[in-house]
Chains A and B, each alone.
Chain A
Amino acid sequence: MQALGIDVLFKGTNGQRLLEGLWVSLRISLISVAISLTLGVLVGILMTKKHPVIRILTRGYLEIVRFMPQMVLLFIVFFGSTRVFGWDVDAELSAVIVFSFWGVAEMADLTRGALISIPKHQYESAAALGLNGRQTYLLIIIPQTLRRLIPLSINLITRMIKTTSLVMMIGVVEVLKVGQQIIEANRNSSPNAAFGVYAVVFLLYFLACWPISLVAKHLEKRWAVA
């Protein structure tokens, strides 16, 4: 244990601090996920509308998110907003803004994909059975859309958690940064800490994301459209 540098985490409150760092990452991603899921579905429904202005706006929004690395967006919001507007946006808030901006686009695209994947005959059959508009959506369209959408949106959660590791680059003290601090503080007493601590951080991220991806995979298989 000494040689691998894992022992550092059992000294004092180091282990607890690392977990608190993990919680900071998870908190940012959970808030962003909540915003992305709700707003994303609304924007996604908007995207299926054929209005030309809406089309151009949503298309442009999607392309921006598709081409800009999240890190660049983080820099723009964190450094740019101060420069251009004189706002002092703190790092954690910038992170939530950026990840929500990104997540809403992703979620909207997924929602749009799920909605347009419902074949037209489903609407027509519903009408032929005498269901009215509200019943058609509640009983036929929404259940089918959800089946396609839920596994994909669960995947979005793991991607969100992974992406939060970027926030250390704008100065949020999250799990990776705490790891770095622990390594630096114990440079003399355990020189190999870099291996152990980063291995543990790696595993922590894995443990946070893996169960979620398993659930997504399971649901995808179970709800696969024949």
Chain B
Amino acid sequence: MNLEVMGSYLPLFGKALWLTFRIGWLGILLSFVIGLVTAVVRHYRVPVLRQLAGIYIELFRNTPLLVQLFFLYFGLPKLGIRIGAEFCGILGLGLLGGAYMAETFRSGLETVEKTQVESALSLGMTRGQVLRLVVLPEAVSVSIPGFTANVIFLLKETSVFSAISLMDLMFTAKDLIGLYYKTTECLVLLVIFYLIMLLPVSFLGSWLERRVRRAGFGY
């Protein structure tokens, strides 16, 4: 292993980390929004939208991200819908994650006791207020461990972005291996950089889990 070579690769890996990080977190943000909306739609049994949400969740939970990305990036332009690689990555991750987040949210929503809703209503809150001030905060705090698991899963899934020519960590490693044959150095850097990205999330997750549980409702 040649440390000098590894040092010279650092800027390239740093750039790739930033790209992976950016797309990863934007995608996760999108998945959070999609998941929240689909879960609420399903929980409140909104007609038509509920069925659509169900189809969406089944479709995206049962197909790999790589295939979804290929379809979005190479397939859709044939219908005249052309989207850039970066946006495609964000959209793909958001759609995949949304389906997982929706399920996590939904199991959180199901743990909210009926008495909580009834009490809030009898205090004179409107239905919107009940959802915003009572149901969602409780559901979200219960779902935190599930979210952390989903976030780590989604950040790991970003490793397929290289297939749609995004210069992420995987792409950079493969490129450098092909150019200079410094396989060991590149693989070690690859592992280190993924750890840099994922370890903080894991710590943040367990910290958040402790905090929210302390501020638990009704226990």
Using a CB–CB distance below 8 Å, which chain A residues touch chain B? 5, 66-72, 75-76, 79-80, 82-84, 158, 162-166, 168-169, 176, 179, 183, 191-192, 194-195, 197-199, 201-202, 205-206, 209-210, 213
Q: Which residues of B contact A201 (CB under 8 A)?
A: 67, 70-71
Q: Which residues of A contact B67 (CB under 8 A)?
A: 165, 176, 198, 201-202, 205
**Closest 9 pairs between A and B when the two form their complex, measured CB to CB:** A195-B78, A209-B62, A165-B64, A69-B159, A71-B159, A198-B75, A162-B64, A69-B156, A83-B183
Q: Is there contact, CB below 8 Å, between B66 and A166?
A: yes
How many pairs, one residue from A and one from B, have CB atoms within 8 Å of each other in the complex?
Answer: 109
Tell me the bound Cα distance from A80 to B187 in angstroms.
Answer: 7
Q: Which residues of B contact A210 (CB under 8 A)?
A: 58, 62
Q: Is there contact, CB below 8 Å, between A191 and B78?
A: yes
When each residue 155-185 of chain B gets 1 if its CB lies under 8 Å from chain A and 0 otherwise, what string results? Answer: 0111110110000001001100100000110
Q: Is there contact, CB below 8 Å, between B177 and A67?
A: no
Tell me the bound Cα distance from A18 to B6 in angstroms.
Answer: 41
Q: Which residues of A contact B163 (CB under 8 A)?
A: 169
B5 interface hit (Cβ, 8 Å):
no
Given A67-B195, A68-B156, A205-B63, 11 new contacts (CB under 8 A): A69-B194, A80-B183, A80-B184, A82-B183, A166-B64, A169-B170, A191-B78, A195-B78, A198-B67, A198-B71, A206-B58
- Kindly identify which residue among B61, B79, B162 contacts A213, using a CB–CB cutoff of 8 Å: B61
